[in-house]
Amino acid sequence: RAEKVKIGHLEPHRGSRVRVFGWVHRLRVQSQMTFITLRDGTGYLQLVLTGDLVKTLDAFDLVTECTIEVTGELKQVPEGKTAPGGHELVADWWRMVGKAPTGVDAYASLFNEKSDLSVRQNLRHLDLRAETPAAIMKVRAAVLSAFRAVYAKHTVMEVTPPCIVQTSVEGGSSLFKFDYYGQEAYLTQSSQLYLETCLPSLGDVFCVQESFRAENSHTRRHLAEYTHLEAELAFIDFKDLMDHIETMICEVVDMVLADPVVGKLVQELNPGFQPPARPFKRLDYKDAIAFLNEHDILFQDDDPAVAPRPHQIGDDIAEAAERKMTDMLNVPIFLMNFPKHLKSFYMKKIEGDEEFTESVDVLMPNVGEIVGGSMRISDIDELMEGYKREGIPADPYYWFTDQRKYGTSEHGGYGLGVERFLAWLTNRWTVRECQLYGRWPGHAAP
């Protein structure tokens, strides 16, 4: 009996008889010979059926997305021909495992390259079977495991903070609220505050957690639920924080590109991709404002009736302006030292320039902001002032405040949007392509 092998593990079995299972990915029927590309998630395999086997196919309505079992000899493809993995299976037996619809319901009739995007989004469970969505998900898995490996190398420990919370991190306006046994609770926007409380117990920590933002932003880079990779580091200064972020991004990219399978997928999705050069460009917020004005990139008020005007110090740099600037500079950027009033209550102020903060965003070409981070207020009195300034009741934050009471430390951290990182790495138009099942305003199915 032939050994059962996954397609991705066939290489050592060349010249032997094997048994494979999979989904019919492509089908080319000729009178004497049929070629099938079989898919099982680990790879693609070319099957060749000849003679009597070809005759049996019609009788069974073999179409794409049927599942089949096949046995045969695995042969190296003849010179001058190509096939995935460099080999093909010459079948001597096959059987139908699960049929798929024919006619109007056939997989091949559901959508194609020209279909409206919403058609594919509503059929995401079937769209995932196509090559590009599957490739993005494979890169995504490799990116997440590379982050875990690189954090382990730098002694940053993984923790799993809760999703159900009763405090806000990035302002109340984007909280999803719900009833929690008669109390108000929220879906987490960021696990930052919880990570900070782990420092005295576990040292440097990180988490990979879903974050939720009830923003009504219909942009290329806003999701209602996204995967948030966050880390927090004790006894560091602002420069250490930026060096660490740069190291993480570069080591993760190197590790992903070094994987023979996934590195190739990245190059196929994003031809010519080059790992970022170190050090990243450091750009002060005030210099960014000057850059925008030098290049006539205007400030647009939230109210579209207000005429655009040049940027002023203190203005928020909106997505469109940030994107234009990043694409013009066309390198990774640390955008640093944002004004205090644009940022959250926990951010540390710059000594001697108290209207600004030790904060940093990483901006990448094609996406803009992929990371937001800062040094945190370590002094308890200053934190109390921060709550007051932002109109935040201190009581629910008692556990976060205690962090400063029981042995404080200079510390800082950041959050990286995994889908934005992937949109940059794989050159996608929107982060929506980088989630398994997308969640954005108005869309939560399938």
User: For strand 183-187 and strand 164-165, is the pairing parallel, antiparallel, or unpaired?
Assistant: antiparallel
| Piece in contact with ligand 4AD (CB under 6 A), picked from 95-103, 220-228, 237-245, 315-323 | 220-228
Q: How far apart are CA 33 and CA 35, in angstroms?
A: 7
| Piece in contact with ligand 4AD (CB under 6 A), picked from 42-50, 149-157, 367-375, 382-390 | 367-375
The interaxial angle of helices 418-425 and 131-153, nearest 10 deg, is 120
From residue 183 to residue 222, what is the string marking binding to Mg ion with x (rule CB under 5 A)? Answer: ----------------------------------------
Q: How far apart are CA 407 and CA 410, in angstroms?
A: 10
| Nearest alpha-carbon partner for 184 in 170, 199, 168 | 168
Cβ-based neighbour number of residue 445 at 10 Å: 9
Output 20 or 288, the one with its CB closest to ligand 4AD. 288
Residue type at position 429 = W
| Nearest alpha-carbon partner for 213 in 253, 174, 165, 164 | 174
Contact status: 228 vs ligand 4AD (CB under 6 A): yes
Distance of CA 205 to the CA centre of its chain: 20
Q: Considering only residues 107, 338, 414, 424, which one is a binding residue for ligand 4AD as defined by CB under 6 A?
A: 414
Residue 371 binding result from Mg ion, ligand 4AD, none, given CB thresholds of 5 to 8 Å by partner type: ligand 4AD
- Number of residues engaging ligand 4AD in binding (CB under 6 A): 24
Output 57 or 214, the one with its CB closest to ligand 4AD. 214
Structure tokens at 1: 């009996």
Output 223 or 249, the one with its CB closest to ligand 4AD. 223
Q: How far is the CB of 361 from Mg ion (least distance, A)?
A: 6
Q: What stretches of 113-178 show up as alpha helix (H) in DSSP?
A: 117-122, 124-127, 131-153
Cβ-based neighbour number of residue 149 at 10 Å: 12
Output 87 or 432, the one with its CB closest to ligand 4AD. 432
Cα torsion through 228, 233, 239, 242, rounded to 10: -20
Structure tokens at 345: 């209550």
Q: How far is the CB of 369 from Mg ion (least distance, A)?
A: 6
Contact status: 370 vs ligand 4AD (CB under 6 A): yes
Structure tokens at 55: 């005759």
Q: Which helix (H) or strand (E) holds 257?
A: helix 238-258
Q: Considering only residues 332, 368, 372, 417, which one is a binding residue for Mg ion as defined by CB under 5 A?
A: 372
Q: How far apart are CA 82 and CA 7, in angstroms?
A: 16
Residue 228 binding result from ligand 4AD, Mg ion, none, given CB thresholds of 5 to 8 Å by partner type: ligand 4AD
What is the helix, strand, coil percentage profile of the chain, to 5?
A: 35, 30, 35
Residue pair 334/355 in contact (Cβ under 8 Å)? The answer is no
Contact status: 413 vs ligand 4AD (CB under 6 A): yes
| Piece in contact with ligand 4AD (CB under 6 A), picked from 56-64, 65-73, 296-304, 410-418 | 410-418
| Piece in contact with Mg ion (CB under 5 A), picked from 20-28, 75-83, 313-321, 370-378 | 370-378
Contact status: 241 vs ligand 4AD (CB under 6 A): no
Contact status: 360 vs ligand 4AD (CB under 6 A): no
Q: How far is the CB of 377 from ligand 4AD (least distance, A)?
A: 13
Would you tell me which residues interact with ligand 4AD (CB under 6 A)? 169-170, 190, 192, 213, 215, 222-223, 226, 228, 230, 369-373, 413-417, 419-420, 431
Would you tell me which residues interact with Mg ion (CB under 5 A)? 372
